[in-house]
Amino acid sequence: MKPSIPKGTRDFSPEEMIRRNYIFEVIRNVYQRYGFLEIETPAMENLSTLEGKYGEEGDKLLYRVLNSGPVMDSLRSVADPKVSDLTEKGLRYDLTVPFARYVVMHQHELNFPFKRYQIQPVWRADRPQKGRYREFYQCDADVIGSDSLLNEVELIRVIQDVFSTLKLGVSIKLNNRKILSGIAEILGASNQIIDITVAIDKLDKIGIDKVNDELLAKGLSESAVHRLQPIIKMSGSNGTKLELLDQLLAESEIGRKGLQEMRLVLSVLEQLGGSWGSLEVDVTLARGLNYYTGTIIEVKVSDSRSNFTSSVCGGGRYDDLTGIFGLTGMSGVGISFGADRIYDVLEEVKGFPDLSNAATRILFVNFGHDEAVHCLGLITKLRNDGINAELYPDAAKMKKQIAYADAKKIPYIALVGTDEIKTGQIAVKDLATGEQSKLTMDELLHVLR
């Protein structure tokens, strides 16, 4: 009868919350500085909104909420009950589909191009494993209603600003769906673009030989696989890669268009300068290909202190996001930060700054009722100055009160007994150094600020 929580979910302790909030605040502040505005959508969406949007696999991972009321009774009255008789709502699986639903529902109130950000949990009935949870936060920003590639530029700057604020080295990989289409085209395998990209996306994991095996197994010709090799193996600077692609894709109109888009994004970013994180053209990047139609972005940690290699942010452009809900011709581009993974990396590299200001700065020891009431008056002054301060609520043994301060990592304790009440001073002890001094309120404010 020991209480527990569902598999794949987590409690967050005060220490974890302070660190998580730090990450969210960094992302939120950057989003706001770029003119993105926050929205929130409900945790539960109608199943008609969610189903069929994430593929067959995704549908299986949706959490469905039982209809309220006498469910079993109504079930028994049905000859052959289906899941749809039980449930019509589900927990959101990501923030993109609810956002598309939001845009369509509120299209007449919105100001386009609409730049929104959203930081909320999502739920997936996935098999829990290290680093993969059934409830986790997504931090999305999207611009909808503008074709301009400057939106891509801005979003990549957002990524650079976030990781530069977090002081975390990253590599920002760029691709373009149109380049992938061009490659498929020149290989004479336009309708196998998905097979091709799914295979070459695995390069990092399974190596080139197995990628080639897979391509052949999928029915690509020997000659096409042969011609794909220089593309897969492409290395060098972005300039070198783009030149090679210029030659390879000269005959493909869509391929040339993709290259032109990529060049524009890179050239503006270069002109702006002063960026954080290396920008890397990577034609093997095929993330979320099912709906991206232009730029594709993926961010990996690239920091000498970290062994982490998985993605911490990703995004891209999708030309018809709201089409699924009947509003066509709305181009969108967006990114999503994986706060949980960023947390794990910052833990690994000890990258969190000193966040002790979010916790209590000083504990007033409780010597008894009268002293305690006097202390509450002093504490009020500190709080009015924005300082987090507290009184130990019980007149417990000194040792216990100091242990409380230690465990809560409170840096100072104040000792105010009858003497201090008379003189108007406050005895303050720095728990790190053990140093003790008698201060006036003004002096104490100065120390704590």
**Alpha-carbon gap, residue 7 to 41, rounded angstroms:** 25
**Cβ atoms within 10 Å, residue 415:** 19
* Position among 129, 247, 386, 399 found at the interface with its own copies (CB under 8 A): 386
Q: How far is the CB of 206 from its own copies (least distance, A)?
A: 29
Q: Which residue in the block uniquely carries the two structure tokens 């500190």?
A: 382
**Alpha-carbon gap, residue 149 to 161, rounded angstroms:** 18
* Position among 54, 102, 337, 367 found at the interface with its own copies (CB under 8 A): 102
Closer of 63 and 163 to its own copies (Cβ): 63
Q: How far is the CB of 271 from its own copies (least distance, A)?
A: 6
Stretch that binds its own copies, among 115-123, 200-208, 244-252, 415-423 (CB under 8 A): 115-123
* Position among 19, 23, 54, 89 found at the interface with its own copies (CB under 8 A): 89
Measuring CA to CA, how many Å separate 365 from each of 174, 418, 447?
57, 13, 18
Stretch that binds its own copies, among 148-156, 248-256, 303-311, 431-439 (CB under 8 A): 148-156
Stretch that binds its own copies, among 57-65, 174-182, 252-260, 287-295 (CB under 8 A): 57-65
Q: How far is the CB of 48 from its own copies (least distance, A)?
A: 8
Stretch that binds its own copies, among 63-71, 179-187, 339-347, 413-421 (CB under 8 A): 63-71
* Position among 52, 74, 131, 148 found at the interface with its own copies (CB under 8 A): 148
Interactions with its own copies, residue window 296-355 (CB under 8 A): 325-326
* Position among 94, 135, 201, 348 found at the interface with its own copies (CB under 8 A): 135
Q: How far is the CB of 71 from its own copies (least distance, A)?
A: 6
Enumerate residues 6+ apart whose C-beta is below 8 A from 93.
50, 53, 54, 58, 61, 62, 122, 123, 124
Interactions with its own copies, residue window 216-275 (CB under 8 A): 268, 271-272, 274
Closer of 17 and 208 to its own copies (Cβ): 17
Bridge partners (DSSP) of residue 436 are: 429
Closer of 84 and 437 to its own copies (Cβ): 84
Helix (H, G, I), strand (E, B) or coil at 93: coil
Q: Are strands 426-430 and 412-415 parallel, antiparallel or unpaired?
A: antiparallel
Burial of 26 (0-12, 13-18, 19+ CB in 10 A): buried
Helix (H, G, I), strand (E, B) or coil at 67: coil
Q: How many chain residues touch its own copies (CB under 8 A)?
A: 104
Enumerate residues 6+ apart whose C-beta is below 8 A from 170.
159, 163, 276, 277, 278, 299, 300, 301, 302, 303, 312, 313
Burial of 110 (0-12, 13-18, 19+ CB in 10 A): middle
Closer of 103 and 220 to its own copies (Cβ): 103
Measuring CA to CA, how many Å separate 224 from each of 189, 203, 205, 215?
8, 17, 22, 9
Q: How far is the CB of 347 from its own copies (least distance, A)?
A: 17
Asked if 101 interacts with its own copies (CB under 8 A), we say yes
Closer of 60 and 305 to its own copies (Cβ): 60
Contact of 365 with 401, CB cutoff 8 Å = yes
Q: Are strands 311-318 and 295-301 parallel, antiparallel or unpaired?
A: antiparallel
* Position among 232, 234, 242, 358 found at the interface with its own copies (CB under 8 A): 358
Helix (H, G, I), strand (E, B) or coil at 200: helix
Q: How far is the CB of 224 from its own copies (least distance, A)?
A: 37
Interactions with its own copies, residue window 161-190 (CB under 8 A): 161
Closer of 168 and 387 to its own copies (Cβ): 387
Interactions with its own copies, residue window 387-406 (CB under 8 A): 387-394, 404
Measuring CA to CA, how many Å separate 168 from each of 299, 305, 395?
11, 9, 46
Burial of 69 (0-12, 13-18, 19+ CB in 10 A): exposed
Residue 147 tokens, joined: 């074709």
Stretch that binds its own copies, among 97-105, 185-193, 194-202, 283-291 (CB under 8 A): 97-105
Closer of 4 and 191 to its own copies (Cβ): 4
What angle, rounded to 10 degrees, do the helices at 339-348 and 14-33 form?
Answer: 120
